[in-house]
A and B are shown apart, each in its own frame.
Chain A
């Protein structure tokens, strides 16, 4: 084999190996991260995550943890949201539509109503899907929140909806009534962690 041919083969191997190496490196670096799709309107809004700029990106990769997303653009109110990425998350959608406040922004919003409707539809679908999953895991959610004159019963979940905690606000003397309401609905308080808010147990050390 002549020298030129060898050089050509070596060059071709290198050219092929580099992208493969980059691809393998990317896959390795993606391990333990979730893909977060950034769905914002206007699409050229500035997007920062924990103060790191990710503007004009359609998606980013984040490790499990707590993040603060900020979406801003001249003429629009800055939108700040907190998002928790759990170990079990693989694909997450982040939605943001900062409110237009300037005349220019309002005009832009009017001209782009279709885009808003599409985004709302997609956000609504994602939200409905999450709601269905939550009710499947915790049927009691379908009857919550409960609002009565002297108590209210709500809930909070862990980020992955695995754990559910009932939250009860009740006036003095009506905490047992709130528990009875749960029983009356066909649920056993024993099956839930229940936190009574704005209240301190006399048995707390």
Chain B
């Protein structure tokens, strides 16, 4: 085999290797599309290792990502921008959970608190005299409300704490489950699990401050 042949074979091998590498590299990228029930949402995609931003995309705009782990977060003002992890192993559509930010939910709570209290007191009038509303929160996009009804007690007695969840459907607030010392996920499948877990947590310090003001 002469030098020319050797050179040609070497070049051929290099070209073939480059082509194979290129194909494999291209194949490792997958098409990811983000969707949401909310309109005009922007999603920031970050490296899961160091948090560096990779790209910000709009809904329904496919993005090519290499196989691996990433995080996304909603960038729109007023929305919860916590990072959510996701893995890329094949072409996929990811449903973006959009819930309002804590600040926005606090602000909305002030607008709806009175209406919700009226619903609860309408069903259980004795709450006004015997209990204090504590750890009140709105959840998701403000259509779920949870609170702890703290029994008014005197001296150093410990109160019973009843958890209550109210839901807004078709613009009407309705009590989702009878106030209870502890709410079970199994018995309340229509209520989002994270809301139940949140309301079942111990009474916060600010809740105790309501009961025992300094």
Contact = CB atoms under 8 A, between A and B. Distances in A.
Contacts of B200: 179, 188-190
Nearest to A150: B158
Contacts of B126: 202
Contact of B158 (A176, A193, A194, A202): A176
Nearest to B202: A180
Contacts of B159: 173, 176
Contacts of A179: 181-182, 200, 202
Interface in B108-163: 124, 126, 130, 153, 157-162
Contacts of A196: 181
A174 B161 CA distance: 10
A175 B181 contact: yes
B124 A203 contact: yes
A193 B186 contact: yes
A108 B153 CA distance: 63
Interface size class of B (residues with CB under 8 A): 20 to 34
Contacts of A201: 162, 178-181
Contacts of B60: none
Contacts of B158: 173-174, 176-177
A127 to B, nearest CB: 27
A179 to B, nearest CB: 6
Contact of A203 (B153, B161, B162): B162
Contact of A190 (B153, B160, B161, B196): B196
Contacts of B67: none
Interface string A181-205: 0010000111111101000011111
Interface residues of A, number: 21
Interface in B160-214: 160-162, 178-187, 193, 196-197, 200, 202-203
B204 to A, nearest CB: 13
Given A190-B200, A201-B180, A203-B179, A176 B185 contact: no
A168 to B, nearest CB: 9
Nearest to B178: A203
Contact of B180 (A188, A191, A203): A203
A193 B153 contact: no
Nearest to A192: B184
Contacts of A177: 158
Nearest to A189: B182
A205 B185 CA distance: 22
Nearest to A180: B202
A175 to B, nearest CB: 5
18 contacts: A173-B153, A173-B157, A173-B158, A173-B160, A175-B160, A175-B181, A176-B158, A176-B159, A176-B203, A179-B200, A180-B202, A193-B186, A194-B181, A194-B182, A201-B178, A201-B180, A203-B124, A204-B178
Q: Which 4 A-B pairs have the closest CB atoms?
A: A173-B158, A189-B182, A203-B179, A190-B200
Interface of B: 124, 126, 130, 153, 157-162, 178-187, 193, 196-197, 200, 202-203
Interface of A: 173-177, 179-180, 183, 188-194, 196, 201-205
